[in-house]
Structure 1
Amino acid sequence: MFDTYEQAIDWIHARLRLGIKPGLSRMEWMLERLDHPERRIKTIHIGGTNGKGSTVTFLRSILQSAGYRVGTFTSPYFEQFNERISINGQPINDQELIELTNVIKPLADELDQTELGGPTEFEVITAMSLYYFAKMTPVDVAIYEVGLGGRFDSTNVIHPLLSIITSIGLDHTAILGDTYEEIAFEKAGIIKNGVSVITGVKQPEALNVIRKKAIEGKSPLYHLGDEFSTSSRESLKRGEQFSFSSMFGQIQKLETSMIGSHQVDNAACAVMASQVLANYYSFMIDEEHIREGLTQAYWPGRLEILSENPLVLIDGAHNEEGINALAREINSRYADKKISILFAALKDKKLDKMIATLEEAADQLTFTTFDFPRAASVEELMEVGSNSGNKNIAVDYRSYLDKKINELNKDEILIVTGSLYFLSEAKPFIMNVLKNK
């Protein structure tokens, strides 16, 4: 058993060797042995290609503003591992993580010896979170972010009050399929019979899959653009403003503290979820809680401005849809600026369209890499792009950032983007450079 935080974390990370093992049998086995903690918690399930984490944050912040104690299970972490299991935005402490690991390890050891095989890292952490929210530190409601897909994701053992599918994009195609319909089918796997579904999905072919699943399960469906909508969108200096409308009423001039038109869609899904909870599940949520929740919601690494002078922004755009959203914001917000982009990515991503979009958006595009097993090398990134003259490489991103930040002019913006794993490593360094500038 574990006595220190380091021992616990090392054991959890060691489960990564088992990779991704779709299916719920190992989770069901562990939850049976834990006396089914998932049945003791009110939950909300959020899936989708992009926007999951932001929607979790918007909804958590609204519920917290209404006075509820809200657990969240998210991935990946940005600054510390403990973030993955949080209450009211506060990560569990190191001692709690040690205790949780000591609860789950004997079960993992036993599972290792069965025909089901040992649980993966994600399955271990999911089981830890369910036990934590149900038995160690009970919450009023827990919001669960899907890890990968939905149908066979380890979080799909919960029976939520409602499900949210934020968006569909061509990511993780080797596992989920390479068409919008195939990926939507996997995401729609979180829909439970009779449980309301909220979605911001835009592609008609993907929406048809979700709609069919909802009809089959007699699950009420609320689609952004039909059952609820936004209007009067306006970009603010550090956020967005919009009005919201649904069958439950209208709310004028809501404001978010997160940048991007896509964040308006995510916020709208969260507002709709809060209205469903208020009208059908007796949650005491008023307009003031929605307003306060949206303005106070903060999710690191999503079009996050780290400094205005010099202008430095980071964004975890790690797939085609994320890069497209970033490019739209660059064009609308910073058309008068010279755009310098530093980009690092994982080699298992579809990089060609991502890099082509960045080349078009940037005046100067620099490729870099970082210490991560799946990170693409600078050479691999350079090979993907065109032969345009606005590209170069930075083998050591720290040296590049130190020099670049100290040389930035007022008419220039530095955008650091790509893998969230890269951003979580780079952000503390950037903050230190800015502090010492």
Structure 2
Amino acid sequence: MNELKDIHPAEFQTAQEAIAWIVGRMEKLGIKPGLQRMQLLMDKLDHPERRLKFIHVAGTNGKGSTCAYLSSVLQTCGYDVGTFTSPYLEKYTNRIQVNGVDIEDDVLLRLVNEIKPIVDEIAETEVGSPSMFEISTALAILYFGKVAYPDYVVWETGLGGRLDSTNIVNPVVTIITNVGHDHMDILGNTLEQVAAEKAGIIKAGVPVITAVEPNEVWRVIEQTAKDKKATLYSLGGQFNFSHVSSELDKQTFDFSGPFRNLKGVPISLNGQHQLKNAAVAVMTLEVLRQYYACIVDDEDLYKGLKETRWPGRLEMISNEPRILLDGAHNPEGAATLAAALQSVYRYRKLHLMMGMLSTKNHTGYLRHILPLVDTLIFTEPDFHKKGDASMLAELASELLHDMNRMVDIVVERDWKKALETLISRTEQDDLAVVSGTLYLISDVRSWITYQTDSEKGW
């Protein structure tokens, strides 16, 4: 590192400066799909990704929860686990962790100072400057491959799969949780096109686990796996689960798979969809046991699943008043939120505050939510792609008219004032919900928990 400093004086003096340089590139460069810049970064960093065992996870919804289940169980089994997730809820370093602990500021500073001259060099070539997400991905690989050396890295895609910067790795197992209506402005106009993008993370001979359901979408995954000679384990095909019991913060299910069956598997996350995510995680762990001699005792499996937590998804952040956070931001996410609100939670009135990005399918989202709410407060996340609160309110009004339903609608662009309104309306037997983009969830969670603003972002 000292030799590097002699050639390239340290560009940044603090971790905050280094992070500001990375995240500042989001507005300048945006999202740049493609792997050319990542290939150059890995070449110039001497391919640290080749030293690591990745579990690569793609999907429209459920990625984060599935990653959380896998990380929790593998840690409980005694393995060191790196995680790379996005977007982060409170601060940039949340996205790069080992055993649930963020990358240290001094290590981040050292590694970014190592990456910076390489980024500048690539920026001068015909492929152009690496994006915020590409630099973050390279930083994570460098940390895991040259500093932390975890046994496994749970590796979540950012957007899509095929051209996502995380697709630079060759994993030991691949997961595609599901395919739904999200990022269709980038990934394609049909679910089949979105599925093809997500199937782009499937590698030759690497086993694939999926819970993709609509047959025409599943067939895209199946064909890609067949083309790559990758064994496919599909929910409803090679593995399955049956719901045993559900109460608040406690669910159990039975798992049946090609290698063995498991009874009374416990989880603490709420909602029917979490049973599916847990079943995908269990099937993945079963594949790791069979293919790679990963040691997963039943006791550790059950304990790890039960102790899994996932902030910002059906998370009760306050009890007086009751405030539930859920990062549902697309039609499928809204459907799972609506199902949980009808089956898991009890309330006299439901008050929902939401803020969206401008790129989402808001009509599909609102169709699931509008039949349930008594109050709807539209606000705007503190993010450059925020959706206009007034336009969302107009859309909701039109849909409510078609439903012949009256709901009290409030427009408050300032999310802190919107939160005050939400709290003031929520009486003892009511339930308040904050939903929409994770950029809003991040802000609200930090404010309620710490009375500070978050450093949220991609």
TM-score, normalising length from structure 1?
0.96
Whichever residue aligns with residue 412 of structure 2, its letter is A
For residues 129-148 of structure 1, the aligned pairs below 5 Å read 129-148=140-159
Whichever residue aligns with residue 295 of structure 1, its letter is K
User: Residue 386 of structure 2: which of 375, 382, 395 is its match?
Assistant: 375
Distance 2:348 2:283 in 1: 36
Distance 2:44 2:449 in 1: 45
Displacement of 1:310 in angstroms is 2.7
* SS, match of residue 30 in structure 1: helix
Report if the CA contact (8 A) 1:239-1:260 is conserved.
no
* SS, match of residue 397 in structure 2: coil
* SS, match of residue 82 in structure 2: strand
Distance 1:255 1:308, change over 3 A: farther
For residues 15-94 of structure 1, the aligned pairs below 5 Å read 15-16=25-26, 17-94=28-105
* SS, match of residue 373 in structure 1: coil
Distance 1:415 1:377 in 2: 20
Look up the match of 1:328. 339
Distance 1:53 1:189 in 2: 19
Distance 1:397 1:256 in 2: 33
* SS, match of residue 42 in structure 2: helix
Higher alpha-carbon deviation: 118-127 or 359-368: 359-368
Displacement of 1:236 in angstroms is 2.0
Distance 2:413 2:168 in 1: 43
Distance 1:429 1:312 in 2: 13
Ranges in structure 1 where 5+ consecutive residues have no aligned partner: none
Q: Kindly provide the CA deviation profile for residues 172-226 of structure 1, in whole angstroms up to 9, marking residues without a partner as x.
A: 1111112111111000000011110000111111100000111111111101111
Look up the match of 2:294. 283
Look up the match of 1:339. 350
Look up the match of 1:159. 170
Distance 2:418 2:182 in 1: 29
Report % sequence identity. Answer: 43
Look up the match of 1:104. 115
Are 2:10 and 1:10 equivalent residues in the alignment?
no
Are 2:228 and 1:208 equivalent residues in the alignment?
no
Ranges in structure 2 where 5+ consecutive residues have no aligned partner: 1-10, 401-405, 452-458
Displacement of 1:295 in angstroms is 1.1
Whichever residue aligns with residue 208 of structure 2, its letter is V
TM-score, normalising length from structure 2?
0.92
Displacement of 1:432 in angstroms is 5.7
Look up the match of 1:429. 447
Distance 1:288 1:374 in 2: 45
Look up the match of 1:409. 427
* SS, match of residue 370 in structure 2: helix
* SS, match of residue 170 in structure 1: coil
Distance 1:220 1:282 in 2: 17
Higher alpha-carbon deviation: 95-104 or 235-244: 235-244
Displacement of 1:403 in angstroms is 4.7
Whichever residue aligns with residue 151 of structure 2, its letter is D
Distance 2:421 2:222 in 1: 51
Distance 2:348 2:71 in 1: 35
Distance 1:174 1:214 in 2: 25
Distance 1:290 1:337, change over 3 A: farther
User: Residue 245 of structure 2: which of 228, 234, 241 is its match?
Assistant: 234
Look up the match of 1:392. 410
Count of aligned residue pairs for this structure pair: 433
Distance 1:98 1:336 in 2: 48
Distance 2:239 2:79 in 1: 25
Distance 1:131 1:432, change over 3 A: closer
Give the aligned CA root-mean-square deviation in angstroms. 1.4
